[in-house]
Amino acid sequence: MSSAFDRLRIFLSRTSGLSLDAEKAYFAESRLQPLMQREKLADIDALVARIGSDPYSDFAREVVNAMTTNETFFFRDRTPFDNFRNIVLPALLEARKDVRRIRIWCAACSTGQEPYSLAMILDEEAHKLTGWQIGILATDLSSSVVADAREGFYSQFEVQRGLPISLLLRYFAQSGDRWRINEHLRSRIRFEEFNLLSDYGELGHFDVIFCRNVLIYFDVPTKQAVLAKMARALAPDGYFFMGAAETVVGLTEAFTPHAEHRSINVPREHLASARAPLRLVAG
């Protein structure tokens, strides 16, 4: 393993939290090959030398973007979206009936399929939301995928992954060989570039946070730090969604798995209350 690859791993960990195993040099090279070809860089050594000259440059940002995993699709894993519709939303409509305001944050939103899936659910439940303010903030480390998500264009392949045909016809318009989600839903979501290693204070507090399928790419200390910040950003009776392959066990005392439902977790501090509100939903 080259010292250049070691330096690349350190750079990615410090700037994005990405934990790249020592044996993943081939993965890094395949992800970065298009960028190296464009910039006429012979190998990883040349790329790392370029980063080293200015680690805050646009090029360094492109390296981070290229290494960020963007795999996603509409209604991915389905269960969390069913839980949002059937468990979380009704509970929040009762808990927030005085303020009539709900804030949702999709962290690591990639190209937008997750927040748009939530927006479709909210639109279908619109008859229950008259007079309510529902805000969705969707963020990602990659500026390029945030820009794509904001535009809302998807290929035929992308709309065929998890999206029922009825929702495609209702919420999308065909544009050439692509489909674009309608303005009504696009306007419901605020897309922003954001690093999960940053301070969350500027974001405010949320009633629901989706942080799915991203912690698996972090090392343990980074997972713990992100979960601690997520807990502070979440309302005391809020809900936190994780990916099906992710767990809070052994990482944080803020949340603990629910005893009866595989995909649902509750806040540890409320375990003493037999009727504690659900707060963390995974799956």
Q: What are the start and end residues of each CATH 1.10.155.10 domain in the chain?
A: 3-67
- Does the 79-282 domain belong in CATH 3.40.50.150? yes
pLDDT digits (tens, 9 = 90+) for 86-116: 989 999 999 999 999 999 999 999 999 999 9
Q: What are the start and end residues of each CATH 3.40.50.150 domain in the chain?
A: 79-282
pLDDT digits (tens, 9 = 90+) for 170-194: 999 999 999 999 999 999 999 999 9
User: The pTM is what?
Assistant: 0.85
Neighbours of 70 (CB within 10 A): 15
Looking at residue 56, its pLDDT comes to 76
Q: Mean pLDDT: which of 36-45, 49-58, 152-161 is highest?
A: 152-161
**Residue 257 confidence (pLDDT) above 60:** yes
| Distance between CA atoms of residues 246 and 38, nearest Å | 36
Neighbours of 85 (CB within 10 A): 15
Least confident segment among 9-23, 65-79, 148-162, 253-267: 253-267
| Distance between CA atoms of residues 183 and 164, nearest Å | 19
The amino acid that residue 201 corresponds to is G
Least confident segment among 70-79, 115-124, 209-218, 274-283: 274-283
Phi, psi of 282 (to 5 degrees): -120, 160
Angle, alpha carbons 53-18-206 (nearest 5°): 115
The chain-wide mean pLDDT, for the chain, equals: 87
- Higher pLDDT pick, 119 / 244: 119
Q: Are 275 and 237 in contact (CB under 8 A)?
A: no
Listing from the earlier edge strand, what are the strands of the sheet with 255-257? 189-193, 133-140, 101-106, 206-210, 234-242, 280-282, 264-267, 255-257
Looking at residue 258, its pLDDT comes to 60
Looking at residue 122, its pLDDT comes to 98
Confidence of residue 253 (pLDDT cuts 50, 70, 90): confident
Question: What CATH class does 3-67 carry?
Answer: mainly alpha
